[in-house]
């Protein structure tokens, strides 16, 4: 009996999980223990223009040494992954707009095959929301929404302490909600005026380009950068230096984002909205106009109630932790 | 012991509830048994331009005789009411845009005082959604949204079989979500471009007036009607007779409504959206453009999945039944 208990206890103490955050540009992964400590972490380019098998191979090359370092796959409970359009019910990535892999990708199955470990999948933004709920700004909250402002705009919705996945596992695609009738073309989907086409890193770059084109006489530090170099970070740096067009870009982006957030609040009446992703590095340049527009568009009963905050987790940690929580 | 059991059983068989649907224009109420049969029903004008005490008195005059007819208040479990901005947590109507009563109205308390019966309150649209779930088009569904297209636009959201009330009891104010940036003024709230300002009976009238003004040369049957006579029903009758402006009014309304519904689907991924209220009398004139616009604006993974249907409950029944379910 003693040895049985000892083994159980030992098993309990030596189990880890792998958390993977598959993004449009790069994929971050980490080894997480049961207390939510990320022991090892690394990243690879997602490179979805190449076949998914190439991605799995690259991931394996980087991740297997980390697994071995911890003591081999026997020490692991499994793999949790967050990915765009990741379906918690099927384990497939299905028709993801920000990835070049087309149609349905059985990613959980491919991971299990390659690593010999159980793999669970969810939406990337849902993974981040789980991380926020367990370890971050939403700790202890039962009603909140997380919005990822990265390559795309993702979202995770928690109501009554439960992740909203809806009838088919795809709930919470708030980046694709329409915020400007007949507005900016979203190239990957063909839709017009969706939130993602404005409030993502890609959207901010597009806005900067449009503002420069529409004001050809106005000098701007932004004109020094090539289209490739224009990121939400370069726009932020120019805004910091007092560049008017750069500041206008955040003002415009925040107005649209805030209006969209108001609509989300009127749907589920959350305690907080938690923003994270590259765009949040712009700090008050993005926060102030967003907050103002959100409050302005809220119906009376919701005004001055909802906390709008940046995530306090390290950018990639929320998603890695949340993904690992799928199996831990 | 036998007599005790007999009494319990007797009590069980003779309990009824009062269901009240307080609307912007009129208030409908009924006496409901435990099987969801409406035994008696009637209505009064809400007349919220007069003090709320006047409303309570008028309701009492009409309702008390029905209570007496059934055998007096001892036969009743209580009163359930659905009302605009009705808060399930507090029992108050708070800052309702479509009522003239200002601020916070402790309506559940006032009902209890007047009738000597326990009273529960919820949002009018949530009451209707409960009616749909128990007796209507959403029977057996765990994920759906009901949209009331009446004087205003209300909504009830069910996720995982539970009504979404959010952190403060006010979730599901989808009529106030912004669908047209800087769009039509919503007189009661001062907001611009909200769904209610277009897809309500009031909105349809406004659209009809605007379309006539913008096309002064175009003949239309609608021109026969005074502003007061213009309702979604008169517009429908004109559309039926082939009137082009009247048909355009529904096309325009449906396009906006459908776009908004697409946004709601991308939030909670429901199995169905159930439409009811006066505007649904326009049948395919409103359904077709709404469905088309909804599908057009949906992100790939949601397309051709969501049932868009009219309620099959009698217009007022869903709300009365749903309200009574608060206490039954």
CATH topology of domain B2-130+317-325: Nucleotidyltransferase; domain 5 (3.30.420)
Instruction: Identify the closest residue of chain B to A306 by CA–CA distance.
Output: B167
Instruction: Identify the closest residue of chain B to A169 by CA–CA distance.
Output: B269
Q: Are A222 and A212 in contact (CB under 8 A)?
A: yes
Closest in A143, A170, A180 to B301, CB measured: A170
Compute the average pLDDT of residues A262-276: 97
According to DSSP, residue B75 is labeled G
pLDDT reported for residue A319? 85
d(CA A104, nearest CA chain B) in Å: 11
Instruction: Identify the closest residue of chain B to A159 by CA–CA distance.
Output: B166
Compute the average pLDDT of residues A89-98: 90
Distance CA B259, CA B272 (A): 15
Distance CA A45, CA A327 (A): 24
Position of tokens 């569904």? B141
According to DSSP, residue A283 is labeled T
Closest in B142, B172, B302 to A170, CB measured: B302
Q: Is A14 exposed, middle or buried (0-12, 13-18, 19+ CB in 10 A)?
A: middle
Helices and strands of chain B, counted as H and E runs: 10, 12
d(CA A179, nearest CA chain B) in Å: 7
Which strand (E) or helix (H) includes residue A235?
helix A232-240
Residue boundaries of the structural domains of chain A? 2-130+317-324, 140-310
Q: Does domain A2-130+317-324 have CATH number 3.40.630.30?
A: no
d(CA B111, nearest CA chain A) in Å: 23
Q: Calculate the alpha carbon distances from A96 to A105, A170, A321 in Å.
A: 9, 11, 22
Instruction: Identify the closest residue of chain B to A157 by CA–CA distance.
Output: B267
Closest in B159, B179, B299 to A164, CB measured: B159
| Contact yes or no for A267 and B262 at CB 8 A | no
pLDDT reported for residue A14? 57
Closest in B94, B191, B259 to A297, CB measured: B191
The string of pLDDT tens digits covering residues A164-190 is 999 988 899 999 999 999 999 999 899
Measured from the Cβ of residue A248, the count of other Cβ atoms closer than 10 Å reads 17
Which of A105, A179, A269 to mutate to test binding with chain B, by most B CBs within 10 Å of its CB?
A269
pLDDT tens for the 328 residues of chain B, in order:
333 333 444 445 558 999 999 988 899 999 999 888 999 999 999 999 999 999 999 999 999 999 999 999 999 999 999 998 899 999 999 988 889 998 999 999 999 999 999 999 998 888 989 999 988 999 999 999 999 998 889 999 999 999 999 998 889 999 999 999 999 999 989 999 999 999 999 999 999 999 999 999 999 999 999 988 999 999 999 999 999 999 999 999 999 999 999 999 999 999 999 998 889 999 999 999 999 999 999 999 899 999 999 998 876 688 899 999 999 8
Distance CA B206, CA B212 (A): 10
| Contact yes or no for B178 and A262 at CB 8 A | yes
CB neighbour list of residue A220: distance below 8 Å, 6 or more residues apart = A212, A238, A243, A244, A245, A246
Distance CA B185, CA B187 (A): 6
Q: Which two tokens stand for residue A246?
A: 């750069």
d(CA A190, nearest CA chain B) in Å: 10
d(CA B244, nearest CA chain A) in Å: 24
Model pTM?
0.87
pLDDT reported for residue A13? 52
Q: Is A181 exposed, middle or buried (0-12, 13-18, 19+ CB in 10 A)?
A: middle
A140-310 matches A2-130+317-324 in CATH topology = yes
Confidence band, pLDDT 50/70/90 cuts, at residue A125: confident
Q: Are A269 and B170 in contact (CB under 8 A)?
A: yes
Partners of residue B162 in chain A, C-beta under 8 Å: 160
Which of A263, A273, A297 to mutate to test binding with chain B, by most B CBs within 10 Å of its CB?
A263
DSSP 3-state of B48: coil
According to DSSP, residue A255 is labeled H
The string of pLDDT tens digits covering residues B207-261 is 999 999 999 999 999 999 998 899 999 999 999 999 999 999 999 999 999 999 9
Closest in A189, A262, A300 to B189, CB measured: A300
Distance CA B295, CA B276 (A): 20
The string of pLDDT tens digits covering residues A26-59 is 999 999 998 889 999 999 999 999 999 999 999 9
Partners of residue A302 in chain B, C-beta under 8 Å: 170, 173
Instruction: Identify the closest residue of chain B to A191 by CA–CA distance.
Output: B297
Instruction: Identify the closest residue of chain A to B178 by CA–CA distance.
Output: A263
d(CA A152, nearest CA chain B) in Å: 14
According to DSSP, residue B92 is labeled -
Closest in B177, B270, B271 to A266, CB measured: B177
Which of A176, A189, A259 to mutate to test binding with chain B, by most B CBs within 10 Å of its CB?
A176
Distance CA B80, CA B17 (A): 7
The string of pLDDT tens digits covering residues A191-224 is 999 999 999 999 999 999 999 999 999 999 999 9
**For the structural domain made of B140-310, what CATH number should be given?**
3.30.420.40
Partners of residue A189 in chain B, C-beta under 8 Å: 299-300
CA B70 to chain CA centroid, Å, is 27
Angle at alpha carbon of residue A164, lines to A160 and A166, rounded to 5°: 130
Distance CA B269, CA A79 (A): 26
Chain A residues within 8 angstroms (CB to CB) of chain B: 85, 94-95, 97, 142-143, 157, 159-160, 162, 164-174, 176-181, 189, 191, 259, 262-264, 266-271, 297, 299-302, 305
Partners of residue B258 in chain A, C-beta under 8 Å: none
Instruction: Identify the closest residue of chain A to B270 by CA–CA distance.
Output: A167
Partners of residue A94 in chain B, C-beta under 8 Å: 301
| Contact yes or no for A181 and B268 at CB 8 A | no
Closest in B176, B270, B297 to A166, CB measured: B270
pLDDT reported for residue A96? 87
DSSP 3-state of B61: helix
Chain B residues within 8 angstroms (CB to CB) of chain A: 85, 94-95, 97, 142-143, 157, 159-160, 162, 164-174, 176-181, 189, 191, 259, 262-264, 266-271, 297, 299-302, 305
Partners of residue A173 in chain B, C-beta under 8 Å: 266, 299, 301-302
Return mean pLDDT, chain A: 92
| Contact yes or no for B177 and A259 at CB 8 A | no
Which of B147, B257, B267 to mutate to test binding with chain A, by most A CBs within 10 Å of its CB?
B267
| Contact yes or no for A179 and B174 at CB 8 A | no
pLDDT over threshold 90, residue A3: no
Which of B94, B174, B176 to mutate to test binding with chain A, by most A CBs within 10 Å of its CB?
B176
Partners of residue B294 in chain A, C-beta under 8 Å: none
The string of pLDDT tens digits covering residues B133-167 is 988 999 999 999 999 998 889 999 999 999 999 99
CB neighbour list of residue A248: distance below 8 Å, 6 or more residues apart = A211
Q: Calculate the alpha carbon distances from B176 to A145, A301, B158, B296 in Å.
A: 19, 11, 18, 22
Q: Are B269 and B248 in contact (CB under 8 A)?
A: no
């Amino acid at each position: 009996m003693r040895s049985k208990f000892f083994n159980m206890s030992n098993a309990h103490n030596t189990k880890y999980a792998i958390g993977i955050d598959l993004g449009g540009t790069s994929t971050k992964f980490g080894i997480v223990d049961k207390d939510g400590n990320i022991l090892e972490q690394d990243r690879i380019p997602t490179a979805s223009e190449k076949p998914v098998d190439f991605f799995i191979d690259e991931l394996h090359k980087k991740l297997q040494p980390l697994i071995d370092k911890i003591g081999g796959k026997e020490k692991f409970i499994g793999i949790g992954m967050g990915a765009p359009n990741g379906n918690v019910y099927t384990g497939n990535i299905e028709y993801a707009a920000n990835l070049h892999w087309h149609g349905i990708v059985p990613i959980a199955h491919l991971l299990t095959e390659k690593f010999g470990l159980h793999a669970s999948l969810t939406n990337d933004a849902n993974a981040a929301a789980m991380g926020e709920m367990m370890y971050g700004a939403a700790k202890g909250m039962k009603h909140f929404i997380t919005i990822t402002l990265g390559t795309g705009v993702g979202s995770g919705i928690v109501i009554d302490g439960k992740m909203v996945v809806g009838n088919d596992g795809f709930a919470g695609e708030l980046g694709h909600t329409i915020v400007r009738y007949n507005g900016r073309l979203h190239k990957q989907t063909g839709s017009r005026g969706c939130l993602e086409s404005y409030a993502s890193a890609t959207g901010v770059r597009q806005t900067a380009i449009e503002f420069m084109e529409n004001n050809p006489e106005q000098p701007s530090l932004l004109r020094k950068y090539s289209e490739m170099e224009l990121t939400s970070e370069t726009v932020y740096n120019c805004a910091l230096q007092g560049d008017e067009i750069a500041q206008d870009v955040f003002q415009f982006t925040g107005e649209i984002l805030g209006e969209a957030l108001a609509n989300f609040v009127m749907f589920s009446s959350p305690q907080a909205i938690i923003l994270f992703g590259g765009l949040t590095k712009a700090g008050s340049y993005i926060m102030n106009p967003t907050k103002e527009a959100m409050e302005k568009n809220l119906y009376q009963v919701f005004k001055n109630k909802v906390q709008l905050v940046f995530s306090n987790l390290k950018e990639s940690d929320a998603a890695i932790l949340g993904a690992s929580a799928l199996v831990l």
